[in-house]
């Protein structure tokens, strides 16, 4: 600063007020306004960013209803895996001697729709070759965990009622829950 004064040396320099060492604070007025200005910009961008993040998650989703009626239990022969609802609802209905369970037809690898191969008694995913036993447990290919089971119950009119929004995971021990399996006398 002293150099500049020396270099210019005209009358305007007398207006430059040097900070007195004794009066110097950590924050000068300029530091304060600079920080306040940048702080304001960062705060505004941050608030806008957070708002945008929330903006991208709408409160209501217009997606297909996850609950459907799957017909009467008698329509499913014992010991079969039914692909009847796969196209429409992505669900297999399996009828075992002691009752029903419903498997979500969504591969646990990357979300493709596997096929039921009756002759080989397994589900096979066409995308990357994951294989699942008829219980839904994975045994080959890249799938990291068993297929998900969904809630199955009887509706008041005697039809099977399947709710895909309630899912049961084998690895969490949820398949033993009452809604994951519909016990019926054969």
**Exposure pattern of 108-144 as b/e (b: 16+ CB <10 Å)?**
bbeeeebebeeeeebbbbeeeebbbebebebeebebe
**Can you tell me which of 9, 58, 77, 97 binds another protein, judged by CB under 8 A?**
58
Contacts of 167 (CB under 8 A, 6+ apart): 104, 148, 149, 150, 151
156 near another protein (CB under 8 A): no
67 near another protein (CB under 8 A): no
6 near another protein (CB under 8 A): no
Please state, in angstroms and rounded to a whole number, the distance separating the CA atoms of residues 124 and 141: 9
98 or 171, CB closer to another protein? 171
111 near another protein (CB under 8 A): yes
2 near another protein (CB under 8 A): no
56 near another protein (CB under 8 A): yes
* Binding region for another protein (CB under 8 A): 53, 56-58, 61-63, 109-112, 127
């Amino acid at each position: 600063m002293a150099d500049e004064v020396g270099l210019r040396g005209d009358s305007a320099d007398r207006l430059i007020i040097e900070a007195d060492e004794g009066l110097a604070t950590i924050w000068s007025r300029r530091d304060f306004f600079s920080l306040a200005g940048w702080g304001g910009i960062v705060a505004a961008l941050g608030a806008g960013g957070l708002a945008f993040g929330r903006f991208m998650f709408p409160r209501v989703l217009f997606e297909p209803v996850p609950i459907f009626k799957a017909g009467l239990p008698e329509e499913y022969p014992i010991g079969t895996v039914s692909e009847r609802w796969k196209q429409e609802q992505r669900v297999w209905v399996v009828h075992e001697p002691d009752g029903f369970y419903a498997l979500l037809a969504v591969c646990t690898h990357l979300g493709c729709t596997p096929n039921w191969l009756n002759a080989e008694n397994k589900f096979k995913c066409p995308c990357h070759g994951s294989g699942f036993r008829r219980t839904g447990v994975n045994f080959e290919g890249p799938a990291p965990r068993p297929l998900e089971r969904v809630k199955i119950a009887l509706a008041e009119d005697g039809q099977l009622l399947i709710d895909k929004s309630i899912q049961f995971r084998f690895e969490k021990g949820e398949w033993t829950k009452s809604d994951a399996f519909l016990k019926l006398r054969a």
